[in-house]
Structure 1
Amino acid sequence: MRSRTSTSAARSPSDLLADITTAHGLGGKVNPPLRPREDVEALWEYVLDGTVDWVVSDHACCREELKFGEPEDDVFVVRSGFGGTEYLLPGLITEGTKRGLPLGRIAALTSWNPAQRYGLPSKGAIAPGFDADIALVDPGRTWTVRAAESESTQEYTPFEGFELTARVTDTFLRGHHILRAGEVVGEPVGAYLHRPA
């Protein structure tokens, strides 16, 4: 009998959406590297059977001039990493629901379980005593990923041209409305969270 341990698909959009044939250009360079489609599907099996119990994004984004070196088409001078946070929920809902992953499980994979893993007692649930961190998602909104339309300062994405069938419309951070109708609003209110010892 194998033991069950906490696992993570740490870079959800890349690990669960893109593969070596679908990622758009050298902007998809990341460590560990993107895998063949059969590896992506194997990872989905582990998400579905509960072996993977939390999914997050490391969001290693940078502007185009920092990502690509000279010459721009040299894979050895391109930096590893790219942003993925804005595609985390839309990607999980798009691909997860196709595979029978319930929305409640997606919420646990992206909120409650990571909060427990990192010892953040005020995160991960909508309940008295918890921070009002809420993402509102339209699960029936089809759209095409375009870097030029992103609120991120990153000017490229390996997901360019991907069609997703869900979109985050509004986001609240500790009760502050920071994304309204798909647009960033207000002043930054983020804060560093110290992980308990």
Structure 2
Amino acid sequence: MKYELVVRGKLILEDEEVIGEVGINKGIIVRVCKTQNVLEYDLLQDYDESYVFPGLIDAHVHVNSNPEEGFVSTSSAAAVGGVTTYVDMPYDFPDPITNVERFQQKVEKAENESLVDVGLWATITKTGGTDQIKPLAESGAIAFKFSTLESDPYRFPRIPDDEILKAMELIRETGLRLAFHAENDEIIKGLITNFESSNKVSPRAHMESRPPVSESSAVIKLLEFAYWTNVKLHIVHVSHPRTLDLINSFKNDGVNVTAETCYPYLLLNVSALEEYGSKAKNNPPLREPNAVHGLWNQLLNHKIDLITSDHVAWGRKHKKLEENNIFRSAPGLSGLEIMVPLLFEHLVLKGNVSPIRFAKLMSQNPAEVFSIHGKGKIAEGYDADFTVIDPNKTWTIEEEKLHTNAKLTPFHGTEVKGKVIGTIVRGNVAYNGEEILAEPGLGKIVKGSANKESISK
């Protein structure tokens, strides 16, 4: 049998790594060989002994929080960064994704513009929006995202507890997962008010106004809610090991809860906030070095399910770099383009994380946590998505060359060992290590497991 495409390299399979090759037809993996020079092909992509991972997935991206960004620039960054599928958050500006009409409009826009595959989160209005949960699930939402912190009462509201409990019951019935931005609104807003009134507005004040208890206290409430409702719970951007202690305790009690951290919480600490100011501001904030050490211990002990970027494109006008008040700048870092190589270097090349575990954290686990069909493994019947990394190539992060419209990162000037040299989406080479080959529209929408079309098959 001749295959349309064969990919060769050091294949990272579910439980082993082999020098092998993969036969692909119509964008699907048809055969996996644990040796080479076996398969016939029309086209060959030979990556020698570079690592060929299953296509990596970023489950936490904010494309339209900044309307100046959009799917083209975000997915371009994803392609260059080795991300073959990203899942976009629902807090779009000016209107969040709280009903089917907006969801379907976003689906159409994403399919016309994205260079790599994309799934969509959904949310609800602050009150009275739970009637949209089932329709949004059936329309293809990957999961739902709420917040216990209010950034904006319309676009990013704090959902009241009674609405949370009602929503949990309804989301449980869909089989989808409910994620939370979990920070204690009252603690944080009270501290910020006190800090600003006393002119305590330096970069470090951002961390001090969001102490670890502001995260852990919000999380423990949600864990208890999930205990009583049996909803599948997910806690995003965990920044402190105490939070993971609580999560894993409730896992032992039978709660179906998963957790992610983000690349900055593993690679930076509060000193970066002090050095770079608002360029390193995110919510929750960067923590003390001992907390970062604790997160690493949790990661190495398999207490973290996945790692994401929490990518958001805030440029200079939003970050207000020249102002001397950290509370006036927008929170969030870009990361789609740099997360994978940075983590590969620090986890695989410098840390004690095997390439197989790396693939689970960055591909298989996100696919399984969010039931993303056909993604997450190099296996027969799966989509032919691959992320190829040359462990010997060294390069330097230059923020002005990033594909996102936000040309800012605290990692500017960082030399990185390990470079993405191939991003393949359903058998199509989207990025070859030097240039983007994909065109807008190559990306397809990945639908959630409660989608009516999926159920009917």
2:343 pairs with 66, 73, 92, which one?
92
Distance 1:132 1:87 in 2: 23
In structure 2, give the amino acid aligned to 1:175: G
Cα distance in 2 for partners of 1:72, 1:175 equals 47
Q: 2:271 is matched by which residue type in structure 1? A: T
Q: What is the one-letter code of the residue matched to 2:298? A: Y
Q: Which has the higher contact order (CA 8 A, sep 6+)?
A: 2
Q: Deviations over 1:74-95 (max 9, x none)?
A: 3222111121122222122211
Does structure 2 retain, via aligned residues, the 8 Å contact 1:70–1:77? Answer: no
Q: Percent identity?
A: 30
Change over 3 Å in CA distance of 1:183–1:162 after alignment to 2: same
Indicate conservation of the 8 Å contact 1:90/1:165, yes or no. yes
Aligned pair 1:41/2:293, yes or no? Answer: yes
Count of aligned pairs between the two proteins = 194
Q: Post-superposition shift, 1:73? A: 4.5
Q: Which is richer in strand?
A: 2
Q: Normalized against structure 2, the TM-score is what?
A: 0.40
> Which one of 150, 159, 165 corresponds to residue 417 of structure 2?
165
Residues 72 and 173 of structure 1: is their aligned pair in 2 closer, same or farther, counting only changes over 3 Å?
A: farther
Question: Structure 1 residues 74 and 119, CA, compared in 2 at 3 Å: closer, same or farther?
Answer: same
Could you say which residue in structure 1 is the equivalent of 2:332?
81
Query: How far is the alpha carbon of 1:185 from its aligned partner?
Result: 2.3
Aligned residue type for 2:377: A
Q: Distance in 2 between matches of 1:127 and 1:77?
A: 48
Alignment of 1:1-197 (within 5 A): 2=249, 3=251, 5-9=257-261, 11-12=262-263, 14-22=264-272, 24-65=276-317, 67-69=318-320, 72-97=323-348, 98-188=350-440, 189-197=442-450
CA shift, 1:123, in A, is 0.6
Structure 1 residue 64: Cα displacement? 3.1
Q: Distance in 2 between matches of 1:144 and 1:39?
A: 28
Q: Specify whether residues 62 and 174 from structure 1 end up closer, same or farther in structure 2 by C-alpha distance, changes over 3 A only.
A: farther
Provide the rounded CA distance (Å) in 2 between the counterparts of 1:171 and 1:139.
Answer: 15
Write the distance in 2 (CA, Å) between the matches of 1:140 and 1:82. Answer: 27
Which residue identity lines up with residue 194 of structure 1 in the other structure?
K
The two structures have a TM-score, normalised by structure 1, of: 0.87
Cα contact 1:133–1:172 (8 A) shared by 2? yes
Q: Which has the higher helix share?
A: 2
CA deviation after TM superposition for structure 1 residue 70, in Å: 8.5
Partner amino acid, structure 1, of 2:327: F
**How far apart in 1 are the matches of 2:329 and 2:289?**
23
Q: Max radius of gyration: which structure? A: 2
- Structure 2, unmatched stretches of 5+, are 1-247, 451-457
Aligned residue type for 1:143: W
Cα RMSD over matched residues? 2.2
Aligned counterparts of 1:50 and 1:182: Cα–Cα separation in 2: 35
Structure 1 spans left out of the alignment, 5+ residues: none
